[in-house]
Structure 1
Amino acid sequence: MMLKTILIIGTGGFLGSISRYGVSLLTTKWWGNGFPWGTLTVNILGSFLIGVIYGLAVQNDWLTADMRLFLAIGFCGSFTTFSTFSYDIIQMINTGHFIYTALYVAGSILLGLMAVFAGIGLFKLA
């Protein structure tokens, strides 16, 4: 059972990462590389897609558990983690955790930026 789950998520992840690369190539070709159009595009598309996936899963029960794993965790997870971040925010707002939501958003952005700078800094020291 665990192997099946890993293969389902891994296959979705494989397709999501290839799709992300394809979108990045297309956006660079269309709009150039002076702005991170590829990242912005996959983040918005991924957020929309994960909303559709969860909407179908909750409202209509059209997606099996395996399909949710494949699409939401596998595909969207490798296409962009921003989609999961956005969905988490909506879930927190829906449960009325506004302070936690604000802390999560601010913390994710600020700590994420700090982590990137720290990672870059490690190689500047070497």
Structure 2
Amino acid sequence: MGIGASGLLLVALGGALGGMGRLAVTNLFSHWLGARFPWGTLAVNLSGALVAGWWAARLGIPTTLDLSSAWLALVVGLLGGYTTVSSFSLQTLTLWQSGHPRRAVANVLATCLAGLALASLGWWLAGGGA
């Protein structure tokens, strides 16, 4: 069972908005804090984790391929376009290869550990179960 044309459109629209949001946030953080560390990507991924946890608690986590329109638009589309594993991965590799292994490790730890903590916080803030 597929998601259909309307589901694809929701994902596409959400992804476009999320991508524009990611560009705006990463540029803002680069302007504020400089480019020696990928602060913008970290901010995007952590805020995305918080919102993902909140929406998961509010919308429920789908257990089948029958995804709701809200899940497709907001989680798959918007957050999928907003957050980024590829930038995180490349920026971490660049830090490592340019002689900054501590920054690379800090980026991995901050993204993964704080991301999990913020997804949990989002879930809790939305009234999700224990």
Q: Normalising to structure 2: TM-score of the pair? A: 0.57
Q: Distance in 2 between matches of 1:81 and 1:34?
A: 19
Write the distance in 2 (CA, Å) between the matches of 1:56 and 1:2: 24
CA deviation after TM superposition for structure 1 residue 58, in Å: 2.5
Aligned with residue 68 of structure 1, among 68, 71, 76:
71
CA RMSD of aligned residues (A): 2.5
| Superposed CA offset, 1:61-112 (max 9, x none) | xxx9111110100011111145xxxxxxxxxxxxxxxxxxxxxxxxxxxxx6
Say which structure is richer in helix. 1
Runs of 4+, deviation exceeding 4 Å:
none
Cα distance in 2, alignment partners of residues 14 and 58 from structure 1: 23
Correspondence for 2:33: 31
Q: Measure, in 2, the Cα distance between the counterparts of 1:70 and 1:81.
A: 17
* Partner of residue 51, structure 2: 49
Deviation at 1:52, TM superposition (A): 0.7
Matched residue pairs, number? 83
Deviation of residue 50 (structure 1)?
0.5
**Aligned to 2:69, what secondary structure does the other structure show?**
helix
- What is the TM-score when the length of structure 1 is the normalising length? 0.58
Distance 1:39 1:81, change over 3 A: closer
Name 1:87's counterpart in structure 2.
Answer: none
| Greater Rg over alpha carbons, structure | 1
Q: What stretches of structure 1 of length at least 5 have no aligned partner?
A: 83-111, 118-126
The farther-off stretch of 28-37 and 11-20 is 28-37
Distance in structure 1 (CA, Å) of the matches to 2:59 and 2:7: 18
Task: Evaluate the alpha carbon distance shift between residue 81 and residue 33 of structure 1 in structure 2; reply closer, same or farther with a 3 A threshold.
Answer: closer
Identity level (%): 33
